[in-house]
């Protein structure tokens, strides 16, 4: 999605530009010739990655050979640091300028890996406001361009039509449940979320958006007979919900953009938590809180993530209250920070992809 947005923004400035590389359906539709399909690189899990390494390495080699054949003026790598820093290194060796769009979150942990960006990237375009200073302090030429999701419009479907489509009770408040997008994290998070929903009772409707990475039957088996409605998209569910129970990750940004008050939750295995916690370099877990620089939404992590705690925090923000008003105001400010750099000139705010495109074209060869 980010790649497609960026290609469209670059084409608006120069329709003659040509693109090739790694991509999927959206990038192809935007005009990118995909010499490697992203679905062939989408592998999660240590054993799965090990078994796919020969194939992944072959695709990597194919991409580099295509670059040698086509001699691009500029290389743009997007997210996926394990693959893309190696691409960047090969481009740098060939004298091709490299831009990193949606830079890795090395500020959260493994900060020493910033040297990979510093050594092989000419420009980093970051999507969270605090990332610019983090990278610049470590010798990386970084610019905050805004988050590509930040100016998403409110969903077109109204609450009445949405209720009719999914057989929801209009008289009740709705609560969106988002336990994560990977099977393992859903197994860790969803049971406690469902327990909290059960404690809240049938005064509420509970909506659970099905992430594209999850199978609907897998979720339905975990839910069992409990009254939870599975829906296909997260943004309409969040927009029409009174509140949410949201696992740490991009979903918290989506909730902030939709101005849906929520409680952030997360749990990992005890061993992972024990090994990982000392390595985490940030004071908060929720992206919303990191952007705000203070606790805007409650964070219930590991031992604090209990059904009773979730219900207690929700009961503070479900009714019209000072706590709800404060959270809504803070979410509005977070959304504004995600979209507009503090140094931006007065006037209309360009889309982050348009801001990125202007910078990219100033770096590429004429």
Give the pLDDT confidence score for residue 48 in this predicted structure: 52
Q: How confident is the model at residue 79 (pLDDT cuts 50, 70, 90)?
A: confident
- Model confidence at 44, pLDDT cuts 50, 70, 90, reads very low
The predicted model gives 101-122 an average pLDDT of 81
pTM of the full predicted structure?
0.78
Across the range 33-49, mean pLDDT stands at 68
Res. 10 pLDDT band, cuts 50 70 90: very high
Q: What is the pLDDT of residues 24-37, one digit of tens each?
A: 888 999 999 999 88
Q: What's residue 92's pLDDT?
A: 94
H, E, C per residue of 235-253: HHHHHHCCEEEEECCHHHH
Strand (E) or helix (H) holding 198:
helix 183-200
Q: Residue 117: which H helix or E strand, with range?
A: helix 114-120
Per-residue pLDDT, averaged over 46-64, amounts to: 76
- Helix (H) or strand (E) run with residue 262 in it: strand 262-266
What is the model's pLDDT at position 53?
A: 76
351 or 313: which leads in pLDDT: 313
Cα(33)–Cα(21) distance, integer angstroms: 7
List of residues 6+ apart from 288 with CB closer than 8 A: 252, 253, 255, 256, 264, 296, 297, 330, 331, 334
Summarised one tens digit per residue, pLDDT across range 145-204 is 998 888 778 899 999 999 999 999 999 999 999 999 888 889 999 999 999 999 999 999
More confident position, 185 or 356: 356
Q: How far apart are CA 180 and CA 351, in angstroms?
A: 27
Q: What percent of the chain has pLDDT over 90?
A: 61
Provide the pLDDT confidence category of residue 108 given band limits of 50, 70 and 90.
low
The pLDDT assigned to 346 comes to: 66
Q: Give the burial string for 41-61 (b: 16+ CB within 10 Å, else e).
A: beeeeeeeeeebeeebeebbe
More confident residue, 215 or 160: 160
Q: Based on the number of CB atoms within 10 Å of its own CB, is 104 exposed (0-12), middle (13-18) or buried (19 or more)?
A: buried
């Amino acid at each position: 999605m980010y790649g497609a947005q960026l290609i469209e923004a670059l084409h608006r400035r120069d329709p003659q530009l040509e693109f090739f590389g790694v991509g999927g359906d959206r990038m192809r539709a935007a005009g990118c010739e995909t010499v490697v399909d992203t679905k062939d690189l989408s592998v999660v899990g240590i054993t799965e990655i090990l078994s796919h390494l020969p194939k992944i390495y072959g695709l990597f080699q194919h991409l580099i050979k295509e670059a040698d054949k086509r001699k691009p003026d500029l290389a743009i790598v997007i997210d996926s640091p394990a693959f893309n820093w190696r691409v960047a290194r090969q481009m740098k060796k060939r004298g091709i300028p490299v831009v990193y769009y949606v830079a890795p979150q090395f500020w959260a942990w493994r900060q020493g890996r910033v040297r990979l960006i510093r050594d092989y990237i000419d420009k980093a375009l970051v999507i969270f406001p605090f990332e610019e200073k983090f990278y610049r302090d470590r010798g990386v030429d970084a610019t905050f361009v805004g988050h590509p999701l930040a100016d998403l419009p409110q969903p077109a479907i109204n609450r009445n039509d949405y209720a009719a489509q999914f057989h929801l009770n209009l008289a009740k408040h709705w609560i969106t449940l988002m336990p994560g997008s990977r099977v393992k994290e859903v197994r860790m998070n969803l049971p406690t979320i469902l327990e909290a929903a059960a404690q809240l009772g049938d005064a509420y409707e509970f909506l659970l958006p099905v992430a594209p990475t999850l199978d609907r039957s897998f979720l339905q088996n975990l839910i069992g007979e409990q009254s939870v409605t599975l829906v296909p998209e997260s943004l309409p569910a969040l927009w029409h919900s009174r509140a949410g129970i949201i696992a740490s990750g991009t979903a918290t940004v989506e909730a902030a953009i939709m101005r849906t008050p929520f409680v952030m939750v997360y749990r990992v295995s005890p061993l992972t938590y024990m090994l990982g916690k000392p390595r985490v370099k940030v004071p908060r877990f929720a992206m919303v809180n990191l952007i705000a620089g203070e606790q805007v939404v409650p964070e219930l992590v590991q031992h604090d993530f209990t059904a009773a705690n979730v219900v207690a925090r929700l009961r503070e923000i479900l009714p019209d209250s000072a706590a709800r008003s404060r959270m809504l105001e803070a979410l509005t400010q977070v959304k504004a920070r995600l979209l507009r750099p503090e140094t931006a000139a007065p006037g209309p705010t360009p889309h982050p992809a348009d801001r990125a495109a202007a910078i990219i074209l100033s770096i590429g060869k004429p």
